[in-house]
Chain A
Amino acid sequence: MNVAVNVDAREDIPVWLAYGTPVFTVLAALAVSAVALVVLDVNPVAAYATMFVETLFTEFGLTETLTKAVPLILTGLAVYLPLKAGLFNIGAEGQLVAGALAGTWIGLNLSLPGLALVPLMFVAAAVAGGIWAGIPAYMRAKWDVNEIITSLLLTFVALEIQSYLLRGPMQGGTGNFPQSERFSEAATIPELVSGVHAGLLVAVCMVVVTYVLMTRTRLGFEITFVGSNDEAARQAGMSKFYVYLLVFVVGGAFAAMGGISEIAGAQGRYRAGFEPGYGFTAIPIALLGRNSAFKVLLAGLFFAVLFVGGSSMEVAFGVPAALVEIIQALVILFLITAEFFKSYRVGIDIDRGPTEAPAQPQGGDD
């Protein structure tokens, strides 16, 4: 038997493939995760049914999903916007933490009525997140320092600062846990509908703002151009420096709003390790939704379903929480693989007919 593997570049990408990729990616990730479920002696069909039915068709599930979606959508935008200008913001996590810390500090230390305090917390968070994102952006724009590395490393700096503050100056509440004092009523983000806090409104607004920015404004035109060919953009009088700085700072502000929403809307106090890496999950969200801000919204909701559904599955079937991370990881891996299959066609020829004998007769395995 002769087996031949062929890898050819595609001339053009068929339409079904271009649009189907995200769907196939997710389905493939779920299919492969089913293997892990079977190994754990769980029926994958029942598990996935629980996962999606519990989250999408119960009030509790929907509330949880929408609440989780807020930081995911906002951090997703934080990666999406720089991506449009050709940059990779891997540090949304750090920007989220920086913003959450600044917002929390305002919320705990200023006594104002809620209508003034909550917006002020958002502004403080946005400023802190913007500054945190502005550092790698400035270094990239000015000295061409790789923003992937700097934004990622700054995340660890932010996490260390968080750790210090919550064990030191900002530590509060009973016991000696790394957490802050509880927020007052005024500093808590009010409820929007049945258990979902108003941060959702902020997230949706920011999606709309980003959409309008990218598709209706001059700035969006410049961002698109710089992201596509920065040399041509420069020739046309657009400023790469300005665009790079802007997308990162605005992105950082988005991530920071996601952070303070989660703290002041869902958690009620700042706990170290309050969130399971939204800023990193934001990367596949932005990649899945890279064609439009509304797709980022959808991708954010999808990952929220995965998070919440994963927890339901955990409770109902006793599977480890890590499984959700496995599914997420598989989505990312399949996403990257899908890019390859979009551009290349792979064929395997198996020829079972009488073969020309290979050079050495003792091949044995034919």
Chain B
Amino acid sequence: MSEHTTLRMEGILKEFPGVVANDHVDLSVERGEIHGLLGENGAGKSTLMKILYGLYSQDAGDIYLDGERLDLESPQDAIAAGIGMVHQHFMLIPRLTVAENVVLGEREPATVFRRDAEDSWLPAAVRNNSLVQSLAGQFSLGLDVPEQRIQDLADEYGFDIDVSAKVWELDVGQQQRVEILKALYRDVDLLILDEPTAVLTPTEAERLFDSLERLTDEGLSIIFITHKLTEVDAIVDRVTVLREGQNVGTAEVSSVSRADLAEMMVGREVLFEIDREAVDLGDPVLRAREIRASDNRDIEALSGIDLTVRQGEIVGIAGVSGNGQKELAEVMAGIRDVTGGKLEVNGADITGAKPKTFVENGVSFVPEDRLQYGCAEDLSVMHNATMKDFRNGRFGDRPFLDYGELRDYAETLVEEFDVRGVSDVTETKAGDLSGGNLQKLILAREIYRDPELLIANQPTRGVDVGAIEFIRETLLEQRKAGTGIILISEDLDEIFDLSDRILVVYEGEFVYETTPAEADRERIGLEMTGGGGDDGGETVASPPQSGITQGSES
């Protein structure tokens, strides 16, 4: 233990029914460092941090902050002790301003209830009553917020945020900085970030890293929960790896290799290079011609897309998010109406057909947003595992449904696809699974029906290394089985490793086509940002619009 140690967690034990989430975990964090907490989904990272933030109480073990033993019963206790946390899903109210959001949890009473208010119409005797103060703190809100203090704070750490802007006007990266501001406003010394980059684009992530370094320069300590090894390399000083609830070791990042970390995390060697066997391409399973579609605001998102996918082919679609990928995936899955063009699956024209027709024609879909489209989080694993196949005759004669069969089917999927955290498929809710395991369940559901066409939109986003490896291998196996796959990803490595053909999408059109063997990363990066020019591939119909940084890589 060095004298710089600020946080010590000793022998933390937390058991849930049937699971030991944290098995006597030790963790120590030094002042001014960024401490990575690395582990697969379900390794116990979140549990440990929830204990530290007062959301759970440990069954055994102690927490010391600056030598003082803490007894944390609620997040309020944690904040009072100087521990702040930024959750993966933001806890912001879009309608309110940045400043209002920042002070919100502080329960500042409305002006009339302030003890030091000068022009309150309430008599001081009433205002000073402790019960009135307590109720006012709970049920009224002072909106005359100390905006200046928050603006100063933002400026101090180089956050370019206008504190009087409404939160909905901000982009995701800015919203995250508001979350960090919330913690800073409460004078925390230790900041926990739960997978902060999961929602960010690479550029936004870079900016976040800059901000974090400024924070540590000021003496803050940061615990950075992640399962991305690249991030550990990029920003973390020391890293603690958890596996199955146990601390497998803490290391200086500069002294270990990425492969070592991955092995610590997963417990075996991880293959970063995937063997992609050659597969003979069969007949086209998807033929899309001149597809046009609008986004949710009725603005054209796809402007004439031609796409053919053959049996046993993975077509990777690369692009900066928001260039029509979501709409493309939804059109191909049949849940977004086209405004023009023609769509054939296995030779059958199903343009404009109902989603059910797409399902029946062997189209499978792994959506980008697992919780919005991928599953019903309040329903059981069994319901979710069978949501596409429950019409199949094997589950009993119409109109009846054999729930015993459904259960067996779900259990098969859980077992074969190694979905962890399911105690009983009829009891465990989909929403209780960790991100990686939920994704495995969704993938299992979509693949086990042996689809003709699989659309996978960001299949490995926000899942851990072990699950990523599993998902990629599953996609390749399915390719071998003759399924045509559309893989949409912002992760260029993924596109390169898996695809037979790469298409770059920019502003609703394919602007460049290549294969992994011939591809030039710089060129793809350029095309993704609209700076490709007109040599080779298709031409860009309109000049890049302002606001998109042209050729930022070069």
Contacts and interface: CB of A to CB of B under 8 A. Distances in A.
A6 B134 CA distance: 8
Interface stretch (B95-103, B123-131, B474-482): B123-131
Contacts of A272: none
25 contacts: A5-B134, A11-B55, A215-B403, A217-B399, A217-B400, A218-B401, A228-B383, A229-B376, A229-B378, A231-B372, A231-B373, A232-B374, A232-B387, A235-B373, A235-B374, A237-B355, A237-B356, A355-B130, A358-B115, A358-B133, A359-B115, A359-B116, A360-B128, A362-B128, A363-B129
A46 interface: no
A231 B134 CA distance: 42
Contact of A7 (B55, B138, B383): B138
A39 interface: no
Residue among A3, A220, A236 with the highest chain B CB neighbour number at 10 A: A236
Given A1-B130, A11-B55, 11 more contacts: A4-B130, A5-B135, A217-B399, A231-B373, A234-B335, A236-B387, A236-B388, A237-B354, A237-B388, A358-B130, A365-B125
B335 to A, nearest CB: 5
A44 B378 CA distance: 42
Residue among A229, A355, A362, A366 with the highest chain B CB neighbour number at 10 A: A229
Nearest to A8: B74
Contacts of A216: 400-401, 403
Given A11-B56, A216-B400, A219-B399, A235 B378 contact: no
Nearest to B57: A11
Given A218-B398, A236-B359, A360-B128, A228 B378 contact: yes
A217 B390 CA distance: 10
B53 interface: no
B134 A3 contact: yes
Contacts of A3: 130-131, 134
A92 to B, nearest CB: 25
B375 interface: yes
Contacts, number: 109
A229 to B, nearest CB: 4
A218 B379 contact: no
B128 A363 contact: yes
Interface in B327-365: 333, 335, 354-360, 365
Contact of A224 (B129, B333, B358, B379): B379
Interface string B425-436: 000000000000
Given A218-B391, A225-B383, A225-B387, A233 B138 contact: no
A218 B376 CA distance: 17
A89 B395 CA distance: 32
Nearest to B399: A217
Contacts of A364: 125
A80 B357 CA distance: 31
B88 to A, nearest CB: 17
A177 interface: no
B142 interface: no
B376 A239 contact: no
Given A7-B138, A232-B387, A218 B125 contact: no
Contacts of A363: 125, 128-129
B134 A4 contact: yes
A358 B395 CA distance: 69
Nearest to B402: A216
A11 B16 CA distance: 13
B367 interface: yes
A365 B125 CA distance: 8
A2 interface: yes
A8 to B, nearest CB: 6
Contacts of A232: 372-376, 387
Interface in A1-59: 1-8, 11
A234 B333 CA distance: 11
B106 interface: no
A221 B355 contact: no
Contacts of B374: 232, 235
Interface of B: 55-56, 74, 115-116, 124-125, 128-131, 133-135, 138, 333, 335, 354-360, 365, 367, 372-379, 383, 386-388, 390-391, 395, 398-401, 403
Nearest to B379: A228
Nearest to A348: B134
Nearest to A220: B401
Contacts of B56: 11
A359 B128 contact: yes
A365 B358 contact: no
The 7 A-B pairs of least Cβ separation, nearest first, read A237-B356, A229-B376, A228-B376, A237-B359, A3-B131, A363-B128, A236-B387
A218 B129 contact: no
Contacts of A237: 354-360, 388, 391
A153 B81 CA distance: 55
Interface residues of A, number: 38
A135 interface: no
A238 interface: yes
A292 B401 CA distance: 18
Nearest to A363: B128
Contacts of B360: 237
A218 B399 CA distance: 6
A167 B285 CA distance: 67
A218 B397 CA distance: 10
A239 B354 CA distance: 9
Contacts of A225: 376, 379, 383, 387
A14 to B, nearest CB: 13
A362 B125 contact: yes
A229 B377 contact: yes
A6 B76 CA distance: 11
B401 A221 contact: yes
A355 B378 CA distance: 46
Contact of B129 (A233, A355, A365): A365
A217 B391 CA distance: 10
A95 to B, nearest CB: 24
A231 B379 CA distance: 14
Contacts of A219: 399
A184 B500 CA distance: 79
B86 to A, nearest CB: 18
A229 B374 CA distance: 9
A237 B360 CA distance: 9
Contacts of B398: 218
A224 B367 CA distance: 21
Interface in A210-262: 215-221, 224-225, 228-229, 231-239
Nearest to B384: A232
A4 B115 CA distance: 16
Contact of B390 (A6, A218, A234, A355): A218
Residue among B55, B130, B391 with the highest chain A CB neighbour number at 10 A: B130
Given A228-B378, A229-B376, A235 B115 contact: no
Contacts of B358: 237
A358 B133 CA distance: 10
Interface string A332-366: 00000000000000000000000100111011111
B74 to A, nearest CB: 6
A240 to B, nearest CB: 10
Contacts of B391: 218, 237
Contacts of B403: 215-216
B375 A221 contact: no
A362 to B, nearest CB: 7
Nearest to B55: A11
Contact of A360 (B74, B115, B356): B115
A105 B499 CA distance: 70
A219 B383 CA distance: 13
Contact of A235 (B55, B74, B125, B355): B355
